Amino acid sequence: MIQVTVSKENNQITAFELSGHAESGPYGYDLVCAGVSAVSFGSINAVMALCNIDLEIEQGKEGGYLRVQVPHSLNKEIMEKTQTLLEGMIISLETIEREYSQFIKIHRK
């Protein structure tokens, strides 16, 4: 199962972590894993490209782990844009969770 943990402070996403494997299909054909990967990496790339910031990213070598930290020192405009993109990511992950709750669980801290 993929565990998603979203950390918020003052109603803003400060970090998120994905761990585990969906195992909803054979390796290379796991649609839940593919969906979660596409949504999360697409969102990270969008934040870095559109907001022109570097996120603190930690990945597992064998997959199955991703942690992203949002810098605290962003100006208000960039922080708002970053938050909008990350909230969009969470909504997309929640959509996957609604359909495939046996393979993905989202937690909030």
What is the dihedral angle through the alpha carbons of 98, 40, 43, 90, rounded to the nearest 10 degrees?
A: 30
Query: Of the candidates 24, 40, 38, 44, which has an alpha carbon nearest to the alpha carbon of residue 99?
Result: 24
Residues tagged active-site? 21, 33
Spatial contact of 18 and 24, defined as CB atoms under 8 Å apart: no
- Cα separations in angstroms, 66 against 19, 40, 47, 50, 103: 7, 9, 16, 21, 17
